[in-house]
């Protein structure tokens, strides 16, 4: 692996870490605003990355996917997750609605951060140093991918909390029964190429928006 490729990999992983930390912080902040002090009491209402790192989801999985993407030129998205912020819906006046709002906070902050990245890119334009351009590109891509990925309505992803709010009582029970198998379903979707088919066009779309080809 060349030095340039290692630099890109490192920048992508830093962008990923920032995206997941803000994602989890947003969950905790909205839960706290709705009356749930659980994240604060667990010292998770912070932007300190060390409070949110999950050894597999924040380190091993994204590193593995990044190596497959950069070293082996495989078209896989860089996805992963941080340690979930603890939320107790019993503190909410309307538990299902509260959980939906908490869930939507994560993808919302990711899309907001992606928008900030695009704004910086458009403001600085061609004056961007190459390494900063690579970082902003991956920062935008990863934030958009995390937002879309987490809105997939499969437990324990955020989209399942939205679906849980919308479903009738029988559907709620069925969805909650799927919770223990959620990560298995996600990995099967990844293995089958479904997630790649959904997420990789996002990379091309962001490349077009940012005119990233000039840095290629």
Q: Is 8 a catalytic residue?
A: no
**Radius of gyration over every alpha carbon of the chain, rounded to an integer in angstroms:** 18
The vertex-205 CA angle with 200 and 208, nearest 5°, equals 135
Each residue of 143-200: pLDDT tens digit? 998 999 899 998 889 999 999 999 999 999 999 888 888 778 877 877 777 777 877 7
Domain count, the chain: 1
- Please pick, among 24, 130, 179, 207, the residue that the annotation labels catalytic: 24
Quote the tokens at residue 49: 């990355």
Q: Print the domain residue range for 67.
A: 3-215
Each residue of 114-159: pLDDT tens digit? 999 999 988 887 677 888 888 998 899 899 989 998 999 988 899 9
């Amino acid at each position: 692996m060349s030095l340039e490729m290692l630099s890109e990999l490192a920048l992508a992983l830093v962008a990923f870490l920032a995206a997941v930390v803000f994602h989890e912080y947003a969950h905790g902040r909205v839960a706290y605003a709705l009356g749930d002090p659980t994240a604060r009491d667990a010292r998770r209402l912070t932007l300190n990355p060390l409070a949110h790192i999950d050894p597999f989801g924040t380190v091993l999985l994204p590193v593995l996917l990044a190596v497959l993407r950069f070293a082996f030129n495989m078209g896989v998205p860089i996805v992963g997750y941080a340690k979930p912020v603890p939320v107790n819906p019993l503190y909410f006046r309307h538990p299902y609605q509260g959980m939906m709002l908490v869930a939507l906070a994560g993808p919302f902050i990711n899309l907001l951060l992606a928008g900030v990245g695009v704004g910086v890119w458009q403001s600085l334009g061609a004056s961007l140093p190459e390494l900063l351009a690579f970082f902003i590109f991956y920062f935008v891509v990863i934030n958009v991918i995390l937002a879309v990925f987490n809105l997939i309505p499969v437990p324990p992803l955020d989209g399942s909390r939205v679906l849980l709010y919308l479903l009738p009582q029988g559907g709620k029970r069925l969805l909650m029964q799927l919770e223990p198998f959620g990560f298995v379903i996600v990995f099967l979707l990844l293995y089958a190429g479904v997630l790649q088919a959904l997420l990789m066009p996002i990379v091309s779309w962001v490349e077009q928006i940012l005119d990233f080809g000039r840095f290629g």
